[in-house]
Amino acid sequence: MAANNHKHDPNVLHPHISPTSMYLKVAAALFGLTILTVVAHQFHHQLGAFASLVAFGIAAVKATLVLLYFMHLKDDNNMNRAIFASGFFFLIVLLLFSVVDIATRVTEVSPL
């Protein structure tokens, strides 16, 4: 009888049951993206300055798949999504400050 009382209780954890085929598809996509990363590295001279953007883009897609499916954010509430997104937002802010710092440095000429 007590087990029926927390059917709608938001504080009770409910397992997210996902089919094995979904996990296999996501794992196959991650393996494919890893191979794509290796192939993209073979063309890093041709890509030039875009090589790092391609690598970061592939890594972002892989991280999104892991977060959504293996960490179950796809089935979770919006608060947890916002917490993860805020972490990535502050990571981008940190990277932007680093880029601005490096780009605005004045080269010093040694008098020696």
Cα angle 29, 31, 37 (rounded to 5 degrees) comes to 100
pLDDT of residue 1: 43
Indicate the domain borders of the chain: 18-71, 77-104
**Span 30-51, average pLDDT:** 94
Distance CA 103, CA 70 (A): 38
pLDDT tens column, 13-33: 666 678 899 999 999 999 999
Q: Is the pLDDT of residue 90 over 50?
A: yes
Which of 5-19, 25-39, 59-73, 80-94 is predicted with the least confidence, judged by mean pLDDT? Answer: 5-19
Torsion angle of the four alpha carbons 66, 28, 50, 39, in this order, in degrees rounded to the nearest 10: 140
pTM: 0.68
pLDDT at residue 81 greater than cutoff 90: no
Q: Which residues neighbour 54 within 8 Å (Cβ) at sequence distance 6 or greater? A: 40, 47
Whether the pLDDT of residue 34 is over 70: the answer is yes
